[in-house]
Amino acid sequence: MPTSRSDKVRLALTHGDPAGIGPEVLVKALAKWPNRSASRILVLSQAFLLNALSRKYRLDCQFLDIASPEQWDERERDMIPCYFGKDSMPSHFSRGVSQKNLTEAAVKSIELAVDLAINHKADGIVTAPINKAGLKKAGFDMPGHTEFLAKLSGTKQYEMMLVGGPLRVVLVTRHEPIRNVPELITRKRVEEAILTADRELRQSFGIRRPRIVVCGLNPHAGEEGTIGKEEIQIISPAVESAKNKTDAEIFGPLSPDALFVDAYQGQYDAEICMYHDQGLIPLKMISRGHGVNVTLGLPFVRTSPDHGTAYDIAGKGVADAGSMTEALECAFQLVKNRRSFGRGPMGRR
Protein backbone atom coordinates (compact mmCIF):
# COMPACT_ATOMS: atom_id res chain seq x y z
CA MET A 1 0.00 0.00 0.00
CA PRO A 2 1.27 3.51 -0.71
CA THR A 3 2.12 5.62 2.30
CA SER A 4 -0.59 8.16 3.18
CA ARG A 5 0.46 11.81 3.35
CA SER A 6 -0.32 11.93 7.08
CA ASP A 7 2.07 9.02 7.73
CA LYS A 8 4.97 10.44 5.77
CA VAL A 9 8.10 11.57 7.59
CA ARG A 10 8.15 15.39 7.67
CA LEU A 11 11.65 16.81 7.21
CA ALA A 12 12.60 20.49 7.25
CA LEU A 13 15.87 21.15 5.41
CA THR A 14 18.19 24.14 5.73
CA HIS A 15 20.30 25.42 2.84
CA GLY A 16 23.41 26.11 4.94
CA ASP A 17 25.81 28.83 3.83
CA PRO A 18 24.87 29.63 0.21
CA ALA A 19 28.49 30.61 -0.46
CA GLY A 20 29.54 27.03 0.25
CA ILE A 21 28.54 23.64 -1.15
CA GLY A 22 25.43 23.23 1.03
CA PRO A 23 22.78 24.12 -1.58
CA GLU A 24 24.59 22.04 -4.21
CA VAL A 25 24.79 18.84 -2.18
CA LEU A 26 21.23 19.36 -0.96
CA VAL A 27 19.82 19.50 -4.49
CA LYS A 28 21.99 16.62 -5.69
CA ALA A 29 20.93 14.45 -2.74
CA LEU A 30 17.22 15.22 -3.11
CA ALA A 31 17.31 14.39 -6.81
CA LYS A 32 18.49 10.84 -6.15
CA TRP A 33 17.31 10.01 -2.60
CA PRO A 34 15.11 6.86 -2.82
CA ASN A 35 12.89 7.77 0.17
CA ARG A 36 11.97 11.22 -1.09
CA SER A 37 8.54 9.90 -2.17
CA ALA A 38 7.97 8.48 1.33
CA SER A 39 8.71 11.85 2.92
CA ARG A 40 7.34 15.37 3.00
CA ILE A 41 10.13 17.84 2.40
CA LEU A 42 10.21 21.58 3.07
CA VAL A 43 13.39 23.50 2.29
CA LEU A 44 13.90 26.69 4.27
CA SER A 45 15.30 28.61 1.33
CA GLN A 46 14.19 30.25 -1.89
CA ALA A 47 13.31 28.28 -5.01
CA PHE A 48 15.39 30.39 -7.43
CA LEU A 49 18.63 29.35 -5.71
CA LEU A 50 17.86 25.63 -5.82
CA ASN A 51 16.23 25.58 -9.26
CA ALA A 52 19.31 27.27 -10.73
CA LEU A 53 21.49 24.51 -9.34
CA SER A 54 19.10 21.82 -10.50
CA ARG A 55 19.19 23.19 -14.04
CA LYS A 56 22.96 23.67 -13.96
CA TYR A 57 23.58 20.05 -13.01
CA ARG A 58 20.65 18.66 -15.07
CA LEU A 59 18.88 17.12 -12.09
CA ASP A 60 15.31 15.88 -11.95
CA CYS A 61 14.30 18.13 -9.08
CA GLN A 62 12.11 21.24 -9.08
CA PHE A 63 11.38 23.70 -6.30
CA LEU A 64 8.49 26.10 -5.67
CA ASP A 65 8.17 28.96 -3.17
CA ILE A 66 5.18 28.87 -0.82
CA ALA A 67 3.79 31.86 1.07
CA SER A 68 3.53 30.16 4.47
CA PRO A 69 4.44 26.83 6.11
CA GLU A 70 0.71 25.99 6.25
CA GLN A 71 0.81 25.52 2.47
CA TRP A 72 3.32 22.70 2.94
CA ASP A 73 0.43 20.25 3.27
CA GLU A 74 -1.01 21.36 -0.04
CA ARG A 75 2.05 20.55 -2.13
CA GLU A 76 2.45 17.27 -3.98
CA ARG A 77 5.79 15.56 -4.47
CA ASP A 78 6.32 16.69 -8.08
CA MET A 79 7.72 19.99 -6.79
CA ILE A 80 9.53 20.51 -3.51
CA PRO A 81 8.20 23.50 -1.52
CA CYS A 82 10.50 26.21 -0.22
CA TYR A 83 9.78 28.81 2.45
CA PHE A 84 11.93 31.74 3.58
CA GLY A 85 9.45 34.17 5.08
CA LYS A 86 9.25 37.77 3.93
CA ASP A 87 12.99 38.25 3.47
CA SER A 88 14.75 37.77 0.17
CA MET A 89 18.19 36.39 -0.53
CA PRO A 90 20.47 38.16 -3.00
CA SER A 91 19.97 36.82 -6.52
CA HIS A 92 23.66 37.19 -7.37
CA PHE A 93 26.55 36.53 -5.02
CA SER A 94 30.06 35.15 -4.97
CA ARG A 95 30.70 31.59 -3.90
CA GLY A 96 33.75 30.41 -2.05
CA VAL A 97 34.02 33.21 0.50
CA SER A 98 32.12 34.03 3.67
CA GLN A 99 29.71 37.00 3.39
CA LYS A 100 27.69 38.56 6.18
CA ASN A 101 24.35 38.60 4.35
CA LEU A 102 24.70 34.95 3.32
CA THR A 103 25.66 33.95 6.86
CA GLU A 104 22.53 35.74 8.08
CA ALA A 105 20.49 33.79 5.52
CA ALA A 106 22.00 30.54 6.78
CA VAL A 107 21.10 31.39 10.38
CA LYS A 108 17.55 32.34 9.43
CA SER A 109 17.12 29.00 7.64
CA ILE A 110 18.09 27.20 10.86
CA GLU A 111 15.74 29.31 12.97
CA LEU A 112 12.82 28.58 10.65
CA ALA A 113 13.52 24.85 10.70
CA VAL A 114 13.72 24.68 14.49
CA ASP A 115 10.51 26.68 14.82
CA LEU A 116 8.71 24.08 12.69
CA ALA A 117 10.18 21.22 14.69
CA ILE A 118 9.44 22.53 18.18
CA ASN A 119 5.89 23.32 17.10
CA HIS A 120 5.45 19.72 15.89
CA LYS A 121 5.08 20.73 12.26
CA ALA A 122 8.23 18.81 11.30
CA ASP A 123 9.50 15.49 12.67
CA GLY A 124 13.11 16.30 12.07
CA ILE A 125 15.53 18.69 10.44
CA VAL A 126 18.52 18.13 8.17
CA THR A 127 21.01 20.97 8.15
CA ALA A 128 23.47 21.85 5.39
CA PRO A 129 26.91 23.12 6.44
CA ILE A 130 27.62 26.53 7.94
CA ASN A 131 31.00 28.16 8.45
CA LYS A 132 32.07 28.69 12.06
CA ALA A 133 34.59 31.42 11.26
CA GLY A 134 31.96 33.16 9.11
CA LEU A 135 29.47 33.07 11.97
CA LYS A 136 31.94 34.78 14.26
CA LYS A 137 32.79 37.44 11.67
CA ALA A 138 29.08 38.14 11.16
CA GLY A 139 28.60 38.68 14.88
CA PHE A 140 26.91 35.41 15.82
CA ASP A 141 28.12 34.08 19.17
CA MET A 142 27.72 30.33 18.61
CA PRO A 143 30.34 27.56 18.43
CA GLY A 144 28.33 25.68 15.79
CA HIS A 145 25.09 24.01 14.82
CA THR A 146 24.88 21.71 17.86
CA GLU A 147 24.96 24.44 20.48
CA PHE A 148 22.71 26.77 18.46
CA LEU A 149 20.05 24.09 17.99
CA ALA A 150 20.12 23.34 21.71
CA LYS A 151 19.71 27.03 22.54
CA LEU A 152 16.83 27.53 20.11
CA SER A 153 14.99 24.45 21.39
CA GLY A 154 15.68 25.07 25.08
CA THR A 155 17.58 21.78 25.40
CA LYS A 156 19.91 21.61 28.40
CA GLN A 157 21.45 18.18 27.91
CA TYR A 158 22.61 17.32 24.40
CA GLU A 159 25.46 15.48 22.73
CA MET A 160 27.12 15.29 19.32
CA MET A 161 27.12 11.85 17.70
CA LEU A 162 28.85 11.03 14.43
CA VAL A 163 27.59 7.98 12.56
CA GLY A 164 29.62 6.19 9.90
CA GLY A 165 29.67 2.53 8.94
CA PRO A 166 29.37 0.47 12.14
CA LEU A 167 30.55 3.34 14.37
CA ARG A 168 28.45 5.73 16.45
CA VAL A 169 30.91 8.13 18.07
CA VAL A 170 29.78 10.45 20.90
CA LEU A 171 32.07 13.30 21.96
CA VAL A 172 32.53 14.33 25.61
CA THR A 173 34.30 17.50 24.42
CA ARG A 174 33.59 18.89 20.97
CA HIS A 175 35.46 21.67 19.17
CA GLU A 176 38.00 22.45 21.86
CA PRO A 177 41.75 23.08 21.71
CA ILE A 178 43.61 19.97 22.85
CA ARG A 179 45.25 21.88 25.69
CA ASN A 180 41.79 22.52 27.22
CA VAL A 181 40.51 18.95 27.00
CA PRO A 182 41.78 17.42 30.30
CA GLU A 183 40.16 20.09 32.49
CA LEU A 184 36.86 19.80 30.58
CA ILE A 185 36.57 16.05 31.19
CA THR A 186 34.63 15.66 34.43
CA ARG A 187 32.68 12.80 35.98
CA LYS A 188 29.47 14.68 35.25
CA ARG A 189 30.28 15.23 31.57
CA VAL A 190 31.34 11.62 30.95
CA GLU A 191 28.25 10.26 32.69
CA GLU A 192 25.98 12.66 30.79
CA ALA A 193 27.44 11.51 27.49
CA ILE A 194 26.93 7.84 28.38
CA LEU A 195 23.34 8.22 29.57
CA THR A 196 22.25 10.51 26.73
CA ALA A 197 23.71 8.06 24.23
CA ASP A 198 21.89 5.22 26.01
CA ARG A 199 18.51 6.98 25.76
CA GLU A 200 18.93 7.88 22.10
CA LEU A 201 20.18 4.43 21.11
CA ARG A 202 16.93 3.06 22.50
CA GLN A 203 14.43 5.59 21.15
CA SER A 204 16.08 6.70 17.91
CA PHE A 205 18.17 3.72 16.86
CA GLY A 206 15.86 0.94 18.04
CA ILE A 207 18.35 -0.84 20.32
CA ARG A 208 16.70 -2.28 23.43
CA ARG A 209 19.83 -2.82 25.52
CA PRO A 210 22.75 -0.79 24.15
CA ARG A 211 26.38 -1.84 24.38
CA ILE A 212 28.43 1.29 25.04
CA VAL A 213 32.23 1.46 25.25
CA VAL A 214 34.07 4.39 26.84
CA CYS A 215 37.51 5.52 25.66
CA GLY A 216 40.31 6.48 27.98
CA LEU A 217 41.91 9.88 27.63
CA ASN A 218 45.57 8.84 27.85
CA PRO A 219 47.56 6.30 25.84
CA HIS A 220 46.71 2.75 26.94
CA ALA A 221 43.87 4.24 29.02
CA GLY A 222 46.43 5.52 31.52
CA GLU A 223 48.21 2.19 32.08
CA GLU A 224 46.87 1.91 35.65
CA GLY A 225 47.86 5.48 36.43
CA THR A 226 51.41 5.40 35.10
CA ILE A 227 50.58 7.51 32.01
CA GLY A 228 47.84 9.63 33.55
CA LYS A 229 45.25 9.43 36.28
CA GLU A 230 42.11 10.75 34.55
CA GLU A 231 40.90 7.20 33.91
CA ILE A 232 41.16 6.28 37.61
CA GLN A 233 39.95 9.57 39.09
CA ILE A 234 37.30 10.67 36.60
CA ILE A 235 36.32 8.28 33.81
CA SER A 236 36.02 5.00 35.75
CA PRO A 237 33.85 6.56 38.50
CA ALA A 238 31.62 8.06 35.80
CA VAL A 239 31.24 4.65 34.15
CA GLU A 240 30.32 3.00 37.46
CA SER A 241 27.80 5.72 38.26
CA ALA A 242 26.18 5.33 34.84
CA LYS A 243 25.96 1.55 35.32
CA ASN A 244 23.82 2.17 38.40
CA LYS A 245 21.31 4.18 36.35
CA THR A 246 20.74 1.94 33.33
CA ASP A 247 20.74 -1.71 32.31
CA ALA A 248 22.87 -0.91 29.26
CA GLU A 249 26.14 -2.83 28.95
CA ILE A 250 28.90 -0.28 29.54
CA PHE A 251 32.58 -1.09 29.03
CA GLY A 252 35.71 0.87 29.80
CA PRO A 253 37.59 3.01 30.00
CA LEU A 254 39.54 1.13 27.34
CA SER A 255 42.42 2.13 25.12
CA PRO A 256 41.08 3.67 21.89
CA ASP A 257 43.86 2.19 19.75
CA ALA A 258 42.45 -1.27 20.54
CA LEU A 259 38.72 -0.75 21.07
CA PHE A 260 38.00 0.68 17.62
CA VAL A 261 38.97 -2.61 16.02
CA ASP A 262 36.26 -4.33 18.06
CA ALA A 263 33.85 -1.48 17.38
CA TYR A 264 34.42 -1.83 13.65
CA GLN A 265 33.55 -5.51 13.97
CA GLY A 266 30.22 -4.62 15.57
CA GLN A 267 30.87 -5.42 19.24
CA TYR A 268 29.53 -2.05 20.47
CA ASP A 269 26.56 0.17 19.64
CA ALA A 270 28.31 3.45 20.50
CA GLU A 271 31.75 4.73 21.43
CA ILE A 272 32.15 7.54 23.99
CA CYS A 273 35.23 9.55 23.05
CA MET A 274 36.96 12.16 25.14
CA TYR A 275 37.83 14.62 22.36
CA HIS A 276 37.13 15.39 18.71
CA ASP A 277 39.94 13.65 16.82
CA GLN A 278 39.91 10.58 19.06
CA GLY A 279 36.59 9.60 17.54
CA LEU A 280 36.49 11.45 14.24
CA ILE A 281 39.70 10.08 12.75
CA PRO A 282 38.59 6.41 12.79
CA LEU A 283 35.03 7.33 11.85
CA LYS A 284 36.00 9.42 8.82
CA MET A 285 38.47 6.81 7.66
CA ILE A 286 35.70 4.19 7.75
CA SER A 287 32.83 6.31 6.42
CA ARG A 288 34.91 7.69 3.51
CA GLY A 289 33.04 10.95 3.23
CA HIS A 290 29.58 9.53 3.98
CA GLY A 291 29.44 10.19 7.73
CA VAL A 292 26.46 11.81 9.43
CA ASN A 293 26.30 14.21 12.37
CA VAL A 294 23.38 13.50 14.75
CA THR A 295 22.47 15.77 17.66
CA LEU A 296 21.33 13.69 20.64
CA GLY A 297 18.90 14.97 23.28
CA LEU A 298 16.84 17.36 21.15
CA PRO A 299 13.03 17.09 21.16
CA PHE A 300 13.25 16.38 17.42
CA VAL A 301 15.57 14.49 15.08
CA ARG A 302 18.48 16.45 13.65
CA THR A 303 21.11 15.22 11.23
CA SER A 304 23.64 16.85 8.94
CA PRO A 305 26.43 15.82 6.56
CA ASP A 306 29.79 15.32 8.21
CA HIS A 307 31.65 18.02 6.29
CA GLY A 308 31.94 21.77 6.11
CA THR A 309 31.18 24.48 3.58
CA ALA A 310 34.18 23.52 1.38
CA TYR A 311 34.60 27.03 0.01
CA ASP A 312 37.50 25.84 -2.16
CA ILE A 313 35.19 23.78 -4.40
CA ALA A 314 31.96 25.79 -4.07
CA GLY A 315 30.33 26.50 -7.43
CA LYS A 316 32.53 24.03 -9.31
CA GLY A 317 29.96 21.22 -9.42
CA VAL A 318 32.32 18.61 -7.98
CA ALA A 319 30.92 18.37 -4.44
CA ASP A 320 30.06 14.81 -3.39
CA ALA A 321 26.47 14.59 -2.09
CA GLY A 322 27.04 11.21 -0.42
CA SER A 323 27.12 12.53 3.13
CA MET A 324 24.01 14.67 2.58
CA THR A 325 22.18 11.67 1.13
CA GLU A 326 23.15 9.65 4.20
CA ALA A 327 21.97 12.52 6.44
CA LEU A 328 18.55 12.48 4.74
CA GLU A 329 18.28 8.71 5.05
CA CYS A 330 19.46 8.73 8.67
CA ALA A 331 16.89 11.39 9.63
CA PHE A 332 14.17 9.40 7.85
CA GLN A 333 15.04 6.20 9.73
CA LEU A 334 15.46 7.91 13.11
CA VAL A 335 12.01 9.48 12.85
CA LYS A 336 10.50 6.10 11.99
CA ASN A 337 12.32 4.51 14.93
CA ARG A 338 11.07 7.20 17.32
CA ARG A 339 7.54 6.58 16.15
CA SER A 340 7.92 2.83 16.72
CA PHE A 341 9.52 3.41 20.14
CA GLY A 342 6.46 5.40 21.18
CA ARG A 343 4.19 2.50 20.25
CA GLY A 344 5.95 -0.18 22.27
CA PRO A 345 8.94 -2.56 22.46
CA MET A 346 11.32 -2.58 19.54
CA GLY A 347 14.93 -3.24 18.74
CA ARG A 348 17.32 -6.05 18.00
CA ARG A 349 17.85 -7.24 21.58
Q: Please determine, for residue 26, whether its predicted confidence score (pLDDT) is greater than 90.
A: yes
Same domain? 254 vs 281: yes
pLDDT band at 76 (very low <50, low <70, confident <90, very high): low
C-alpha torsion sign, points 121, 127, 133, 134: negative
pLDDT at 6: 67
Structural domain count, the chain: 2
Residue range of the domain that includes 107: 1-155+298-349
* pLDDT (tens digit per residue) in 43-53: 999 999 999 99
Same domain? 207 vs 240: yes
pLDDT band at 88 (very low <50, low <70, confident <90, very high): confident
Same domain? 34 vs 65: yes
Classify residue 4 by its DSSP letter: P
pLDDT band at 348 (very low <50, low <70, confident <90, very high): very low
**244, 268, 290 — which closes off a domain?**
290
Same domain? 139 vs 179: no
Quick one: average pLDDT of 179-197? 98
Q: Please determine, for residue 346, whether its predicted confidence score (pLDDT) is greater than 60.
A: no
pTM score of the predicted model: 0.92
* pLDDT (tens digit per residue) in 162-183: 999 999 999 999 989 999 999 9
* pLDDT (tens digit per residue) in 214-263: 999 999 999 999 999 999 999 999 999 999 999 999 999 999 999 999 99
Same domain? 82 vs 185: no
- Sheet containing 167-171, strands listed edge to edge, beginning at the edge strand earlier in sequence: 63-65, 80-82, 39-44, 9-14, 124-126, 301-305, 292-296, 159-164, 167-171, 270-273, 211-215, 249-254
Q: What is the CATH number of the domain that holds 15?
A: 3.40.718.10
